[in-house]
Amino acid sequence: MYKNILEVKNLEVSVNQSELKIVKGISFNVREGEVLAIVGESGSGKSVTAKVLMGLLSRDTYNIDGSVQLENKDLTKMNEATYRKVRGNDIAMIFQEPMTSLNPVLTIGSQLKEAITRNNPNISRKQLTQEAIRFLEMVQIPNPKMRLKQYPFEMSGGMRQRILIAMALVGDPKILIADEPTTALDVTVQADIIKLLIHLQNKLNMSILFISHDLGVVSQIANRVLVMYSGDFIELGETKNILNNPLHPYTEGLIESIPSLYQKGEILNSIPGQIPGLAEGNHMKGCLFYNRCSKRLPSCKEAVQEVHTEERIVHCNLYAQNKKGVKV
């Protein structure tokens, strides 16, 4: 049996004033020591979901329903003072743009040391420097003593992302949420950061929730994948099963549009049509992918069935009749 670190049940997020639903009742678990990826097109609600888990969405703007259970605490019921203890210690996050997440006028050393002190207020000055060096070594930054004295602009994008990973690790989190951590980086640096994350995940035995729009990147790191579309749950399963045998037509489309699967010069497939806008999506009763789906059934317009097999959960009426997740 797997031990779950985080259990998300029927999570719904809407914008207070407009009542637009951004996340539409999704459920998933993050297991101990795994990398779970959330993948989906731009606007599918990935970052909003991540921000709920980090307690970063203001209740003045957003209404959150459902539960997010971290061990025996429900994060959606927690006040800000308690959340401050969870954030950084139990869950930490790294973001897409490593420049904007660092303060440009402070050295790397002072920013990293501040994070370490926040976590361990009684640390001596000597120990603090040693700890800062240890964390830079952990994220494989060469010459860490010299790097501590540098400013963010003196570093490459990949280095800055390593610094942010180091800062996220100071509280020894159980889960690291990585929201598009490699999207702003070029391909070779992207691969190095992925390798580093896999190394750290193994070494520290933490779980990672890896968010990306790129199934190609996800396939390099994730044990399991949750596919989202327009705030809705599409399909969840082991990465290799999803890639070899996608059940949902949307997942099939995503796989066909992975660039690395195509020969140079060949035209890349893309899914025709666009993700529905929030207002449009809110008026749709059945499957939100209906308008773009080449395999739609009349029933898909009315309601979507969840089909749960041994290795997969898929929300698609194509499989609802046989209940076995077998392709029809």
Ligand X SMILES: Nc1ncnc2c1ncn2[C@@H]1O[C@H](COP(=O)(O)OP(=O)(O)OP(=O)(O)O)[C@@H](O)[C@H]1O
3-state helix, strand, coil in the chain (%, to 5): 40, 25, 40
Of 58, 61, 188, 294, the residue at the interface with ligand X (CB under 6 A) is 61
**Cβ 72 to Mg ion shortest distance, Å:** 29
- Our measurement of the distance from residue 231's CA atom to the centroid of its chain's CA atoms, rounded to an integer in Å, reads 14
61 binds, among Mg ion, ligand X, none (CB under 5 to 8 A by kind): ligand X
Which pair of tokens denotes residue 242? 């999803």
Beta carbon of residue 47, minimum distance to Mg ion (angstroms, whole number):
3
Using DSSP, state whether 210 is helix, strand or coil.
strand
Q: Which of 243, 237, 239, 247 is nearest to 289 (CA)?
A: 247
Of the candidate residues 8, 22, 91, 165, the single one contacting ligand X (CB under 6 A): 22
From the list Mg ion, ligand X, none, pick the one residue 190 interacts with, judged by a Cβ distance below 5 to 8 Å according to partner type: none
* Shortest Å distance, C-beta 19 to ligand X: 11
Minimum distance between the CB of residue 61 and ligand X, rounded to whole angstroms?
5
Residue with tokens 């308008």: 291
> Closest distance between Mg ion and the C-beta of residue 179, in Å?
6
Please list every residue from 33 through 52 that binds ligand X, using CB under 6 A.
40, 42-48
For 202, counting Cβ atoms within 10 Å of its Cβ (0-12 exposed, 13-18 middle, 19+ buried), the class is exposed
Looking at the Cβ atoms of 175 and 275, the one nearer to ligand X is 275
- In the chain, what is the greatest distance between 2 CA atoms, to the nearest angstrom? 69
Q: Is 124 in the site for ligand X (CB under 6 A)?
A: no
DSSP assignment letter at 10: E
For residue 31, state whether it binds ligand X (rule: CB under 6 A).
no
CB-nearer residue toward ligand X: 48 or 200: 48
Instruction: Report strand pairing: 62-70 vs 35-39.
Output: unpaired
Cβ atoms of residues 74 and 80 within 8 Å? no
Binding footprint of ligand X, residue count (CB under 6 A): 13
Question: Is residue 278 close enough to count as binding ligand X by CB under 6 A?
Answer: yes
Distance CA 88, CA 71 (A): 16
Q: Which sign does the torsion angle of CA 188, 100, 212, 300 carry?
A: negative
DSSP conformational letter for 215: H
If contact means CB under 5 to 8 A according to the sort of partner, which of Mg ion, ligand X, none does residue 213 touch? ligand X
- 97 makes contact with ligand X (CB under 6 A): no
For β-strands 224-229 and 35-39, DSSP reports them as parallel
C-alpha 119/C-alpha 91 separation (Å) is 13
- The residue among 31 and 51 lying less far from Mg ion, judged by its C-beta, is 51
Residue 44 partner contact from ligand X, Mg ion, none using kind-dependent CB cut-offs of 5 to 8 Å: ligand X
**Per-residue contact track with ligand X, 175 to 214, x per CB under 6 A?**
--------------------------------------x-
* Interaction residues for ligand X, span 212-251 (CB under 6 A): 213
Verify binding: residue 47, Mg ion, rule CB under 5 A. Answer: yes
Cβ contacts of residue 17 below 8 Å, gap of 6+?
Answer: none
Point out which residues bind ligand X (CB under 6 A).
15, 22, 40, 42-48, 61, 213, 278
Point out which residues bind Mg ion (CB under 5 A).
47
